[in-house]
Structure 1
Amino acid sequence: MKRLIEKGLMFGNLIPVVSPILVERYNRALKRLTGKQTELSDFHIDISGYSPEVGDELGDDLYLNHHGVNRQFILLTTEQKTAPLLNAKFSTSRGILRQFIATNEAQLFALTARDAVAGELVNSVYALDTPARLFDIGHVTIEADTTDGAVASAAKLGGMIDDFMVKDGAWHDDVLIANMISLAKDTGDITRNPVNLNRMTFDQDNFWTAHLGGVYVFRNVKEPAAIAMGDLAVLGDLPIDRVVGADQRSAIAQFLKVNDLAEPIIEARGIDSAAILRQKMDFIVADVATSLGEDMGGATRRDLRSLGRRYYDKLPIAWRGLSDLVRWAEDGGAWPRIDSEHPAYFYTLRAKDHKDADMVNMLLSELSPMDVRQLFICHKEAFYTAYNDWPDAKKAYVADFLSNEYQVDKAGTREALFGFEDAMEEPTGPWGKGTARNDLIDRVGPWGAVKRR
């Protein structure tokens, strides 16, 4: 992993904590949440305040995420909103934290100027002692306050002020006035500078969890289902109509189709679909070449084409399917029959434009693991796990590629791969507009209907 860290591909964009006052505030919050403290004088934190250095010191990577269910957080600065979330157990956690910070940014900026803000993403489940408990998670509520309870004190003071304004004879209530003055010493003038954080609750209808070998839960769709990437036998009976295993390709494809969650890359508008598919082919060539001992240092796309010719007879069916699809798109070659059981099928899809697009792309990246760029962008936990098992030549090639071609323009790459463009008039392609060939594609896609089992 050292290579990834050096290139900013792991633990990148973390927030440094180097000043003694910030370390002291962090320790106060850490003590309040966990009863533990760090002896480190400097470290880095993610959006939740988790530090890999502190986790290593404490021997606990989940010191802010007990049982991996109720994520706690420590905010030292609003700049944490741009940081990643490490050791994520739920796909929704980073988005929730980011939205909380953005919504309360002005208040958090003021609060963190003098203290740390500590809190928790609270749900009704404290441990996943059975797989079915996963489905008891219906919503997540954020609770947060400074370590000295400034928000709670301000709320209490606000109630006292309300009582003072309406209570008869309040000017003569010395106890009430004394308590108000005492609290105001800590909170300041809350009538001019309100100290409050919006209490925010988020529905958890569709989400991914790392628990139980990895499970994608889709409850708020036309035909709900859970897609398990691990052992189905471990899950047992779940309170959802349909449970699908990772090896049930046709069932997953049908689920995506009936719920209108994915689309063929080749039909997506506003992108160079053939170039995207060619890059996926290059990744597959690199996977084969490095497994056979090839040194990929400094390899160009021309080198990859040469390696593709050299190892043509060893390239998997997925590569050949993508090659046929590119040939069809660019040169009007034979129409490829790539159904849902074909190894290339999930390499040819991307999420459609909907609120769960990131989650669907995450699922597709697990189903097309040789596309290392998509795996890195959409599912870092799966990427790091896969990286550990690669030969060193592939590790070097992938790290160099991501550093040189992805890191330099992350937003542009994501927009090119996963961005959406409004539908426009159908362009005139090599077969003309409105031909029987195009009408057929509109009905069944460029590779035929999805199999139904």
Structure 2
Amino acid sequence: MDLLRDNELIYGRLLPVDQKHLIERYNKALVAFGLKPTKLEKFEIDRTGFSPQVAEELGDVQYLDPNEVNRRFIILTPEQIDLPVVHTAFSNTSQLLYEFMTANQRAVDALTIKDVIYGEIEDSVSKVETIEDLLSIQQVAFRVLSAEDVLGKAAELGTLVDRLKQEPDAWRDNDMLNRMVDLAKVCGDIRENALVPDQVIFRHNAFWTSHFGGVYIFVDKDVTTVIANPSAPGFRRSRPWQVSYLSLNDADRVFRFLASTGRVELPRASWIETSDYLEHRAEMLVRDLIHKAEPERDISKLDKVWLQTWIHSNAALIKREGTFPFLNAAKRDIARYGQLKLEDVLPEHRFLLVRAKPNHPDAWLTNRLISDFVPFDFVSRYIFNKQGFYRDYKTFAEPWRSHVVDVLKTTYLKDKAGFRKQLYGLTD
């Protein structure tokens, strides 16, 4: 994975931690979790406080996620809110932590001046053993602690302030007044500095989790939909009267679910022709066909002219595989009629022609699911399904790895926001 790391395609945009007082605070959180303190003089962290360097030192990539549920976090600075989350079992961990830090910005700002914030994102279960355990997670609560107990001292000071206001003779209690002075030296003026987070409970909405080989859970008004491998424990057995179960191997039913719930944009000229979406799919497909036909070929200098030449020279192979001619026919029909009816399209081909509806709250999750059905599009896979991309990458031969990295560098990494807007209509 060194090539990915060198090109910031894994563990990119992390925050360096190299100041002694921050390392000491980080270690206090590690010790509080029952872990060994790091001896590193410099490491990097993501939004949750996860560090690939510390994970390597501890020999445990799950050190902040021991049971892949009730995720731990370590907050050293408010700057972490702008970082990615590079290791998680739940796709919405990043969003939950963002919501927590946003809702409690004043407390996070004030606390991290003097202390480290750490704790767990507590679910309703301590271990996931069946799909029912995942379905029972409807909200999470942030259990928030601080190494120097600034939180506890602020809460105590608040109680004493209330007592001073409400009890007529409280001002005569010298011990209490002295205690308030001592606490104020640590907490400052709690009337100005909010040190206790106000909001710690958040909804756990639609998400993907790595459990059981990958499970998608979508929440709608009248039904919850689980999309997973049928071998997952509890599949079709947990609350079948209120939960719909779809197999990840059933392209037809999965597509019908996404379309009927308004989560995908169907192939229409209004967005197909301005996004170059089908052109992108076709190019990714041809690259994949070349790789499979000639796995050791060096295609680092591949360009559009070379691609076109290869297509003409391998017309029989391309016709036999069938996907490239299908994409060309779809493009012609959309240009001619403004849309494409999907009733006669093979279920597995439908995912080539759609993207998540950009303004839907589940857009990123839906694009992730679509990428499972179009694995050759490694660019889409990298953007929306990094765990799947990294798993695929490990199976690639070296020439193909170099090519994949080059394509990602010259397309997506060159302008991430612009690329997402152009191809997927996403603005965030």
TM-score (norm 2): 0.92
Structure 1 distance, partners of 2:72, 2:323, is: 42
Q: What is the CA-CA distance between 1:360 and the residue it aligns to?
A: 0.7
Q: For residue 304 of structure 1, what is the aligned residue in structure 2?
A: 307
1:360 aligns with 2:366: yes
- Mark the runs of 5 or more structure 2 residues left unpaired by the alignment: none
Equivalent of 1:327 in 332, 337, 342: 332
Question: Offset of 1:387 from its aligned partner?
Answer: 1.1
Partner amino acid for 1:6? Answer: D
| Pair 175,336 (structure 1): closer, same or farther in 2 beyond 3 Å | closer
Conserved? CA contact 2:123–2:140, under 8 Å: yes
What is the aligned partner in structure 2 of residue 405 from structure 1?
A: 411
SS of corresponding position for 2:36: coil
Q: Distance in 1 between matches of 2:73 and 2:312?
A: 52
5+ residue gaps in structure 1? 422-453
| Structure 1 CA distance for aligned equivalents of residues 169 and 129 of structure 2 | 56
Name the aligned partner's letter for residue 384 of structure 2.
C
Matched, 1:243 2:245: yes
Once the two structures are overlaid, the 10-residue window that deviates more, 103-112 or 37-46, is 103-112
Cα distance in 2 for partners of 1:333, 1:181 equals: 73
- Superposition map of 1:266-277 within 5 A: 266-269=268-271, 272-273=274-275, 275-277=276-278
Q: Deviations over 1:17-53 (max 9, x none)?
A: 1122211111011111233211111111111001111
Cα deviation per residue 1:236-271 (whole Å; 9 max; x = unaligned)?
422243211111111111111221111124345496
How many aligned residue pairs are there?
A: 419
More displaced stretch, 363-372 vs 341-350: 341-350
Offset, 1:319: 2.5
Q: 1:277, 1:270 → 2: CA distance?
A: 7
Q: Which residue of 2 aligns with 1:90?
A: 90
The answer to whether the Cα contact below 8 Å between 2:44 and 2:53 also exists between their aligned partners in 1 is: yes
Q: Distance in 2 between matches of 1:313 and 1:103?
A: 58
Counterpart AA for 1:326: K
Q: Distance in 1 between matches of 2:51 and 2:231?
A: 33
Structure 2 Cα separation of the partners of residues 391 and 281 of structure 1: 22
Residues 183-262 of structure 1: pairs in structure 2 closer than 5 A: 183-228=183-228, 230-232=229-231, 234-236=233-235, 237-240=237-240, 241-262=243-264
Deviation, 1:405, is 1.5
On the 8 A contact 2:69/2:89 being kept in 1, the answer is yes
Query: 1:283-334 CA distances to partner (integer Å, 9 max, x unpaired)?
Result: 1111111122232112112222222222232233332221211232346799
Taking structure 1 as the reference length, the TM-score comes to 0.87
- Aligned pairs (5 A) from 1:312-323: 312-315=315-318, 316-323=321-328
Tell whether the 8 Å contact from 1:212 to 1:235 is kept in structure 2 after alignment.
Answer: no
Moved over 6 A (4+): 331-338
Change (3 A) 1:360 1:58: same
Match runs of 1:378-389 below 5 Å: 378-389=384-395
Tell me, in whole angstroms, the C-alpha distance in 1 between the residues paired with 2:328 and 2:257.
Answer: 26
What root-mean-square deviation, in Å, do the aligned CA atoms of Structure 1 and Structure 2 show? 2.3
Q: Hey, what's the Cα distance between the residues in 1 that align with 2:58 and 2:211?
A: 22
